[in-house]
Amino acid sequence: MTRKHRAAVSTERWERRVLSRPGAAERVAQYRIEVKTGRFIKQLVEASGKTQRVIAKTAQVPEPNLTKIKRGEIVPTLDTIARLTRAALGAGLEVRVVRSRSPRRKVGKVDPIVLNA
């Protein structure tokens, strides 16, 4: 058994154990959002060809906060994501919230992110 495989097995056990606790599913979901958002912003900065300092200054986001966002330590607001996107790529960000077709869900679902020039 490789070391990588053991880590995956222990992570699965950890998730089963942790997710059984009250409120844990919400915390894990929040963590996943933080990680995915951080990866998106990190890829955005890398794809821009600009330095992190230039993007942070243009987007009016403190550079330490941008670093924390990229690491998944904090989740930026949609406004901050839009400013970072415009600063990095020169394109705007549009997020559409639509009604869910399911009568049981009262919260609308969010469409995929659309970049506008």
Give the mean pLDDT of 14-21.
74
> What b/e readout covers 44-81, taking b as 16+ CB neighbours within 10 angstroms?
bbeebeeebeebbeebebeeeebebbbebeebbeeebb
Residue-level pLDDT at 50 = 93
Model confidence at 117: pLDDT above 50: no
Chain position carrying tokens 């997710």: 19
Q: What is the mean pLDDT of the chain?
A: 75
Q: Identify which has the larger pLDDT, 73 or 93.
A: 73
User: pTM higher than 0.75, yes or no?
Assistant: no
Model confidence at 111: pLDDT above 70: no
Report all structural domains of the chain as residue ranges with CATH numbers, in order of start: 3-116 (1.10.260.40)
Q: Shortest CA distance to 71 belongs to which of 28, 46, 36? A: 36
Highest mean pLDDT among 8-12, 85-89, 101-105, 109-113: 85-89
Q: Identify which has the larger pLDDT, 84 or 25.
A: 84
Instruction: Quick: pLDDT tens for 26-71.
Output: 777 777 777 788 888 898 889 899 999 999 999 999 999 999 999 8
